Amino acid sequence: MPKTRPNKLPSLSPPGDVSTPVAILVIMALVAVFFRDILLEKAFFWEDFIYQYYPFRHFAAVAMAGGTIPLWNPYTFNGYPFQADIQSAIFYIPNLLLTFAVSGGHLHYLWLEVQIVVHYMIAGVTMFFLARSYEIKPNYALFSGLVFALSGFTITRAIHHTVICETAWLPLIALLFKKTLERRSWSMMLLTGFVLGQTILAGFPQMSLYIGLMMLFMFVYEFGFQVKDRGWKEAYPLIWFGAGAVLLAAACSAIQLLPTAQLAPFSQRAELSYEKSLYGSLSWSDLVILVVPKFLGATGAGGSTFWGPGEYGQYWETCFYLGIAGLVFAIAGASLFRRHRFVILWTALAVFSLLYALGDNFILHRIFYYGFPGFNKFRIPGRLSFLFTPAAAILAGAGLERLVESMDERAKFVKRLLGVAAAAGLLLWGLVQAGAFSTAPDTQTAQFIRDTTTSETTVALILVLAVCGVIFARLKGVLSTAAMIVLLFSVQFIDINIFGFSQNNGATSPDEYYRRYAPVASKMKEEGQKEIFRVNSRSSGAMMLDRNQGMIDHIFLMEGYTPLAIARTYPPGHSWEQVCDMLNAKYRVVVDNAHRTMSLAASTTYLPRAYVVYDVRHFGAEDSVKRFMESDVFDPHRQIVLEGAPPLISRDTVYSPKWSARITSYGLNSISLSNFMPKPGYLVLSEMYYPGWNAYVDGGPGTISRANWNLRAIPLIAGPHTVEVRYEPENFYIGKWITLIFSAVSIVGSILLRRYR
């Protein structure tokens, strides 16, 4: 008799669940394998990691290791309130730990790169526990962790340190908040507030706002069901738990929020119009990214092939790829709303996120921009895919579990689903082959688009067929359930490696990058030992020093790179040379376009960092100040311009050169001077005016006025003086005590409450 294959094999039963320690180790191992080139220093994070985040962390860690809290940064943008810039993230605990890695006045970049990779591990592990809290079995919760930790959103954001730090803690915040509401637990509320507060301190307020939005969805979901199940009187106390967690988080991060709130109206991003907020929106056609992540090209460490709408950064601003397996099971999970109540919450959040990310292509962004506080402060609606990713990851775990656990009972449905998925992939591939998307006006561009879309769609089709083939093989009894799960994990991991393994593998380390400027930096540092002066190192695209190099080498630069620079960074003047004179720029970049060369040239007209004038002009309106300073009448060597009534009016305004102003000590947060005034006048400091700087003259309080648009002037009577200016921001000190008190309450209170319970 011929042999027949049985319909079912004993080995097709569901495999045993992995233990929690094993799941944690698997996630950590997969993340380490994905970032192996970074960890082995064969490659390096690129772009903003080098330009902004490494200089920020280096400057803060070195200063803290030397015993100084870097409230002020005098080396960037002529000086600005460093700690008030929320992206400085000084008091985020993992950043504080970098202080212990400083050696010889230097923070090696690998410490920061390892910290970033560890945050990916945290993201995957905390997502595993969040999925488990919804009773998703460990094998499938592990899949949720993998999808979240290594997704399009997280991988393309590795160079944005603050974004990754906030993303990593999102699942833990969701887990703690979930337990707070379900158990009405005060200890969980305290922990939620502390972790959320630390996440805010990580330094990306837009992500913090979106985490708050996620918590609002969770609260409405839980509150609605408790009203339905238990009635209004039983449900309304949830309001206190929800509000308490948010208010506690604000208190735990007050040390950062209060100084940042003071900086905001002074910054270059004080106002954001609706039109500007639309930058970085999704279009409906961008939804193809869910299946073909590089359909519109890509931007990574190896260069840019991005041909879609917007600038090259649009690629990572709108990338929300989950992997083919992740997408298939997320869709399957979304269909389980009748079986699992939590599916309603995360499906609603996922759909909302995509619709909001469409910006002006849908109505949600406009409603939130005009109707909800905070949403009118940020651009790039596409960043709300930040919430789509964790929502889809939870759904993917639920969908995979349902597929595996009920495959035999729902074999016909699964086969139909596989057929639809394969057909959709083939249809998209066929449309690309037919040139449906190659609509560029010139032949060369059209061919490039066609080549890009063809190759990327082919990869996507192979992955779709691989996922369908693995599941189909299990249905036919060729594979065991355990083998199917392992292969699906493998396909997901291979998929995400194809997509993003080389995304962040830059060829240049931060040390090598800043070494390019070493000859110029060494010369400026050597001269800086004898005299305090600034350097104008950039003219348009020509740079003699990197914008944030001053933070690493302690060189005073007129330039910088941070979104929250003070709006009045450069004073008005009738020429750029006069502006540089006022800002104490001894060296200025000179570009020879004819010979395509650039160099630094020394000036003979620059004003010293501290000098004296007697002639004061004052105006009541900002426009009047600007017009006068741009006129040929204004002479900054002999005059100062004040806004408002001057604290001292000298009758003798004739210039006298017999003054002296010698800086005796210069620190990050304070400057001391020895001064002699032959007659009453003003001691002018070529330092940025900003609230919180206080003057002390001969041991008593003095007055600091805003002079020449953005500098400091101290009125002094005739005679010798000792002058000290100290940065003592009241908002920082108030916030410090609020944070210390409420952080202690959160940690100690949660421990005591749990022990008492």
Asked if residue 435 has pLDDT above 90, the reply is: no
CB within 8 A of 386, min separation 6: which ones?
A: 153, 163, 167, 170, 207, 210, 353
Asked if residue 408 has pLDDT above 80, the reply is: no
* Burial degree of 239 (CB within 10 A; 0-12, 13-18, 19+): exposed
Asked if residue 726 has pLDDT above 90, the reply is: yes
Structure tokens belonging to residue 168: 């990593």
How far apart, in Å, are the Cα atoms of 318 and each of 157, 162, 204, 739? 11, 17, 17, 35
Structure tokens belonging to residue 393: 């990851």
pLDDT recorded at residue 441 = 59
Structure tokens belonging to residue 200: 């805010």
Structure tokens belonging to residue 439: 């609509």
pLDDT recorded at residue 364 = 95
Average pLDDT, the chain: 92
How far apart, in Å, are the Cα atoms of 507 and each of 37, 319, 634? 11, 23, 50
pTM of this prediction? Answer: 0.94
pLDDT recorded at residue 193 = 97
pLDDT recorded at residue 268 = 75
- The pLDDT tens digits of the residues spanning 185-215 come to 999 999 999 999 999 999 999 999 999 999 9
pLDDT band of 334, cuts 50, 70, 90: very high
571-581: average pLDDT: 96
Could you give the CA distance from residue 655 to residue 673 in angstroms, rounded to a whole number? 21
pLDDT recorded at residue 318 = 87
pLDDT recorded at residue 3 = 46
Strands 542-543 and 538-539: antiparallel
445-450: average pLDDT: 80
Please give the DSSP secondary-structure letter assigned to residue 69.
Answer: -
Structure tokens belonging to residue 53: 């985040």
pLDDT recorded at residue 2 = 45
Q: Count of alpha carbons within 13 Å of 84, Cβ hemisphere only?
A: 28
Could you give the CA distance from residue 425 to residue 439 in angstroms, rounded to a whole number? 21
Asked if residue 167 has pLDDT above 90, the reply is: yes
pLDDT recorded at residue 36 = 97
- The pLDDT tens digits of the residues spanning 601-628 come to 999 999 999 999 999 999 989 999 999 9
Structure tokens belonging to residue 725: 């200016």
Structure tokens belonging to residue 216: 């609002």
Could you give the CA distance from residue 467 to residue 334 in angstroms, rounded to a whole number? 18
Q: How many Cβ atoms sit within 10 Å of the Cβ of residue 306?
A: 20
CB within 8 A of 342, min separation 6: which ones?
A: 134, 394, 398
- The pLDDT tens digits of the residues spanning 293-331 come to 998 899 999 899 888 877 888 889 889 999 999 999 999
Sole residue written with tokens 């010369």:
523
pLDDT recorded at residue 579 = 97
Could you give the CA distance from residue 199 to residue 250 in angstroms, rounded to a whole number? 11
271-281: average pLDDT: 87
* Burial degree of 263 (CB within 10 A; 0-12, 13-18, 19+): buried
The answer to which of 47-51, 255-259, 447-451, 602-606 has the lowest mean pLDDT is 447-451
Could you give the CA distance from residue 370 to residue 512 in angstroms, rounded to a whole number? 46
In degrees rounded to 5, what are phi and psi of residue 455? Answer: -65, -45
Could you give the CA distance from residue 91 to residue 197 in angstroms, rounded to a whole number? 11
Euclidean distance between the first and the last CA atom of the chain, given in angstroms as a whole number: 69
Stated as kind and residue range, the H or E segment containing 711 is strand 711-716
CB 188 within 8 A of CB 176: yes
pLDDT recorded at residue 270 = 64
The answer to which of 350-354, 362-366, 428-432 has the lowest mean pLDDT is 428-432
Could you give the CA distance from residue 512 to residue 649 in angstroms, rounded to a whole number? 53
Closest CA to 214 of 154, 169, 162, 174: 174
Asked if residue 753 has pLDDT above 90, the reply is: no
Tally the residues of the chain. Answer: 757
CB within 8 A of 663, min separation 6: which ones?
A: 532, 609, 610, 671, 672, 673
- The pLDDT tens digits of the residues spanning 362-379 come to 999 999 999 998 999 898
Q: Rounded to 5, what percent of the chain is helix, strand, coil?
A: 55, 10, 35
CB 165 within 8 A of CB 171: no
3-state DSSP of 281-328: CCCHHHHHHHCCCCCCCCEECCEECCCCCCCCCHHHHCCCCCCHHHHH
Asked if residue 405 has pLDDT above 50, the reply is: yes
* Burial degree of 29 (CB within 10 A; 0-12, 13-18, 19+): exposed
Asked if residue 443 has pLDDT above 80, the reply is: no
Could you give the CA distance from residue 372 to residue 724 in angstroms, rounded to a whole number? 45
Could you give the CA distance from residue 6 to residue 232 in angstroms, rounded to a whole number? 56
Q: What percent of the chain has pLDDT over 70?
A: 96
Helices and strands counted in the chain (H then E)? 29, 19
CB 454 within 8 A of CB 433: yes
pLDDT recorded at residue 431 = 75
Write the DSSP string, 473-487. HHHTTSS-HHHHHHH
Asked if residue 735 has pLDDT above 60, the reply is: yes
Q: At what angle do helices 342-357 and 385-405 cross, to 10 degrees?
A: 140
- The pLDDT tens digits of the residues spanning 81-104 come to 999 999 999 999 999 999 999 999
The dihedral built from the CA positions of residue 565, 504, 492 and 118, taken in this order, carries a sign that is negative
Could you give the CA distance from residue 255 to residue 75 in angstroms, rounded to a whole number? 23
Q: What angle do CA 327, 128, 86 make, to 5 degrees?
A: 90
CB within 8 A of 589, min separation 6: which ones?
A: 536, 537, 538, 539, 542, 543, 544, 598, 599, 600, 601
Q: Across the strands, what pairs with 287?
A: none
pLDDT recorded at residue 231 = 86
